[in-house]
Amino acid sequence: MKPIFSHLSWKSFLVLPILIFQATTGMAQDKPKAKPIIDVHVHAMKVNPAFASDMCPWFLSSMPGSIPGQPGPSFISTDCAHPLKAAKSDEEFQQKLMETAERLNITFVASGDAEILHRWKKAAPDRVIPSIGISQGMSVQAFEDSLSNGFYQVMGEIAPQYQGMSPADPSLDEYFAVAEKLGIPVGIHMGTGGNGMANLSSPKYRASMGRPFLLEDVLAKHPNLKIWVMHAGYPMIDEMIALMGANAYVYVDLAGFIWSYPLEEIHMYLRRLVQAGFGKRILYGTDLMMWPELLETSIGVIENANYLSEDQKRDIFFNNAIRFFNWDPKKFE
Ligand SMILES: [Zn+2]
pLDDT at 16: 44
Query: For the chain, which residues make up each domain, given as ranges?
Result: 10-24+33-57+77-328
Beta bridge partners of 111: 43, 131
Q: How far is CA 205 from the centre of its chain?
A: 19
Alpha carbon of 265 to ligand 1 centroid (Å): 18
- How many Å lie between the centroid of ligand 1 and the Cα of residue 22? 31
Compute, in angstroms, the gap from residue 189 CA to the centroid of ligand 1.
Answer: 5
Inter-CA distances, 136 with 47, 160, 180, 198, 201, Å: 21, 12, 21, 20, 17
CA of 159 to the centre of ligand 1 (A): 7
Whole-number Å distance, alpha carbon 305 to ligand 1 midpoint, is 23
Element (H, E) at 22: helix 10-25
Q: How far is CA 219 from the centre of its chain?
A: 21
Q: How far is the CA of 42 from the centre of ligand 1 (A)?
A: 10
Nearest residue to 113 (alpha-carbon basis) of 289, 254, 325:
289
Model confidence, pTM: 0.89
86: left (phi over 0), alpha (psi -120 to 50) or beta: beta
Ligand 1 center to residue 181 CA distance, Å? Answer: 24
Q: Cβ–Cβ contacts within 10 Å for residue 180, how many?
A: 18
- How many residues are given for the chain? 333
pLDDT by residue (tens digit) across 209-231?
999 999 999 999 999 999 999 99
Domain 10-24+33-57+77-328 top-level CATH class: alpha beta
Dihedral sign for Cα 273, 232, 45, 332, please. positive
pLDDT tens by residue, 307-332: 999 999 999 999 999 999 999 999 99
* Res. 136 pLDDT band, cuts 50 70 90: confident
At 257, phi and psi to the nearest 5? -70, -20
pLDDT digits (tens, 9 = 90+) for 145-177: 999 999 999 999 999 999 999 999 999 999 999
CA of 178 to the centre of ligand 1 (A): 21
